[in-house]
Structure 1
Amino acid sequence: MTLSHDLRGDGPALVLLHSAVCDRRMWDPQTPALLEAGYRVVRCDFRGYGDSPVADRPYSDAADVCDLLDHLGLERVALAGSSHGGEVALEVAAIRPDAVSALVLLCSAMPGHVPGPELRKFTECKRALLAADDIAGAVELSVETWLGPEAGAEARERVREMQGHAFQVQAAGEFASVGVEVDLAQVAAPCLTVSGAHDLADFREIAAGMPERVVGARHMELPWAGHFPGLEKPAAVTELLLDFLRATYPVG
């Protein structure tokens, strides 16, 4: 199946990949400025998120994204991914290094990462709430876990809406994405990896260690951010994205 997606604008293609909490709407705050800057912006919903249905068989988010690129005829792209979307971006960039010209990872997960105590505790609590059919409680757990102290009411409501929708859709599914085994040394694109000082230790450590795994990767920590800086301080992340893209993947 082809992932639900939207494509707007002209110029170099930029594919935005969402987290495992949100859907493609998490990029709403950044999209207008990216279009105005001259990028052709592609946003998609992974299976079980947004407008994409749950899977009826085993699948891979990375393979789905590669299929979408082929469907749209995109031979060269930049990828920006948040959390799980960053993990998928890394997989795609390792599988198709010649197709990815730039890579931005916002509080990214990583292929093969073994969860630490904080992430395991969150997952166990979430599963217990969902098993008890307490979707509202699981949504609030996500809001409190993933948003930093400077996130406002609008950011919290956005996460509530997207996470709640995902839980409702995924309740009808039995398959989860299977990660792709990749060699991150194959990633050839310039890479900016961003962490939030208020995020879980897993994601801070992944970001800080990325320069050791991806040649030329640069790490930046945002002292004010939790796990979703693009929702917490949208303008700051928009500027960060545009600065990096203009230097590594310019328009024209």
Structure 2
Amino acid sequence: MNINYLDRGAGRRIAYDVQGDGPLVVGLHGMGDLRSVFRFTVPALVDAGYRVATFDSRGHGDSSDGFDAYDDVAQATDALDLIDHLGGGPAALLGNSMGAGAAVYAAAERPAAVTALALLGPFVRDPKLSAGAKLAVSLMLRKPWGPGAWAGYYKRYYPGNPPADLAAHQLRIKQSLRSADHLASFRTTAGTSHAPAEQRLSRVSAPALVVMGEKDMDWPDPIAEARFVAESLHAELVLVPDAGHYPQAERPDLVNPALVAFLGKVSAGA
């Protein structure tokens, strides 16, 4: 697959790839991950007649470091500029984890550019973390053990049905964090807030789908959090049994049909 780049100025760039033809869908991944987290999602959407672009967030994967911001607003800006770069859209946004917060921000700020939101394991507000938990995350992301520690910890987010290639995906994450200044970028990203997304939930007018794994360990009650997000966005809700923070990778057999059906309804309505 060819890697393309979106120029962000001052020698910085965002890496992305595009597959398929048809209405545009743009995938936004979470912090400490890669665009390949959608590796089971993209083929299903391409087969359903969509053009799908996924990109590595700032300081992740094949994208550059050295940005002034790494938060939801920055990722949303990159997504909207990528839509413009690919022909102006509009596009459906597929946001996983932190990418969901960025998708919400983008939809609120430029509603004409966003046809729909599909949010997977969404972070659209800040979780309540103890001082001890914040310290643990900070220590885990230190050199020299940071890349290996995060790649190993990452497996915990797949509690029910980890994909057969999870070890290979963990290795890609580990290698990414060891390249350039990606570990420092990740630490900066981890310290950002989802408040800008939460503040804009009521301003989103695009149709939305919320998909949450019932064992998502980022929330003490993931089902309650999923319902909060769905109610805030007047969204459809899909709860995925025996899945964690990456339901699209653990249960593509359940998530892909839900995504295709949702996007099909949005297209028919348009």
- TM-score when normalising by structure 1: 0.86
Following superposition, the deviation at residue 94 of structure 1 comes to 0.9
2:226 pairs, out of 193, 201, 207, with: 207
Are 1:89 and 2:103 an aligned pair?
Answer: yes
Identity of aligned residues (%): 30
**Could you list the runs of 5+ residues in structure 1 that have no partner in the other structure?**
none
Q: What code does the residue aligned with 1:194 have?
A: V
Alignment partner, residue 83 of structure 2: 69
Please say if residues 147 and 226 of structure 1, whose CA atoms lie closer than 8 Å, have aligned partners that are also in contact. Answer: yes
Distance in 2 of aligned mates of 1:167 and 1:4: 15
Q: Secondary structure at the match of 1:140?
A: helix
**Alignment deviations for residues 74-131 of structure 1 (CA, whole Å, 9 cap, x no partner):** 2311111110111111111111112211111011101xx232248x765532321232
Q: More displaced, 149-158 or 217-226?
A: 149-158
Alignment partner, residue 65 of structure 2: 54
- TM-score when normalising by structure 2: 0.81
Alignment partner, residue 93 of structure 2: 79
Alignment partner, residue 42 of structure 1: 53
Of structures 1 and 2, the one scoring higher in RCO (CA 8 A, sep 6+) is 1
Distance in 2 of aligned mates of 1:183 and 1:38: 31
1:179-218 mapped onto 2 (5 Å cutoff): 181=196, 182-200=199-217, 201=219, 204=222, 205-214=224-233, 216-218=234-236
Alignment partner, residue 230 of structure 1: 248
1:55-204 mapped onto 2 (5 Å cutoff): 55-58=66-69, 60-110=74-124, 113-117=125-129, 123-131=134-142, 133-135=144-146, 136-144=148-156, 146-158=157-169, 160-169=170-179, 170-171=182-183, 173=185, 176=189, 181=196, 182-200=199-217, 201=219, 204=222
Please say if residues 38 and 251 of structure 1, whose CA atoms lie closer than 8 Å, have aligned partners that are also in contact. Answer: no
Q: What code does the residue aligned with 2:215 have?
A: H
Distance in 1 of aligned mates of 2:230 and 2:56: 28
| Structure 1 vs Structure 2 CA RMSD | 2.6
2:264 pairs, out of 238, 246, 249, with: 246
Distance in 1 of aligned mates of 2:265 and 2:255: 16
Please say if residues 104 and 193 of structure 1, whose CA atoms lie closer than 8 Å, have aligned partners that are also in contact. Answer: yes
Residues 203 and 15 (structure 1 numbering): CA distance in 2 closer, same or farther, change over 3 Å? Answer: farther
Q: What code does the residue aligned with 2:161 have?
A: E
**Could you list the runs of 5+ residues in structure 2 that have no partner in the other structure?**
1-7
Distance in 1 of aligned mates of 2:168 and 2:262: 29
Q: What code does the residue aligned with 2:96 have?
A: S
Please say if residues 91 and 180 of structure 1, whose CA atoms lie closer than 8 Å, have aligned partners that are also in contact. Answer: no
Distance in 1 of aligned mates of 2:35 and 2:117: 17
Kindly report structure 1 stretches of 4+ aligned residues shifted beyond 3 Å.
Answer: 120-124, 172-180
